[in-house]
Amino acid sequence: MVINSDEVGEYRSIQIGQQLNGFYIVKSGLSADDQIVVEGYTRAEEHSPITIKPWNPNLQEKYRLNDTMQAQLNEIMTMIQQAE
């Protein structure tokens, strides 16, 4: 689900590519400045207002990631930021 400029949720079709360490690479359907729902999406409803909170990529404690998984996630986040 993408959060549009009115801070309302809308579904969008995306094309995914290969999987990298449990994460999928999005090939099309999203723009670099799109905001997407990454937590609470099961409660989010299309065409309903969504409260935006910054996502914290340091998920090691919340999801019990080991050091290797956290390092891989950090690397992916760095690659995404460089691509912007």
Please indicate, yes or no, whether residues 36 and 48 belong to a single structural domain of this protein: yes
Residue 71 to residue 82: CA distance in whole angstroms: 17
- Total domains present in the chain: 2
Q: How would you write the pLDDT of the chain (84 residues) with one tens digit per residue?
A: 899 888 899 999 999 888 877 788 888 999 888 888 887 778 888 889 988 877 766 665 666 667 787 788 888 888 887 776
Please indicate, yes or no, whether residues 33 and 72 belong to a single structural domain of this protein: no
Please indicate, yes or no, whether residues 20 and 59 belong to a single structural domain of this protein: no
Please indicate, yes or no, whether residues 40 and 61 belong to a single structural domain of this protein: no
- pTM here is 0.53
Residue 33 pLDDT: 84
Please indicate, yes or no, whether residues 49 and 13 belong to a single structural domain of this protein: yes
Please indicate, yes or no, whether residues 42 and 3 belong to a single structural domain of this protein: yes
Please indicate, yes or no, whether residues 10 and 45 belong to a single structural domain of this protein: yes
Residue 78 to residue 80: CA distance in whole angstroms: 5
Domain around 45? 1-53
Residues in CB range of 48: below 8 A, 6 or more apart: 8, 9
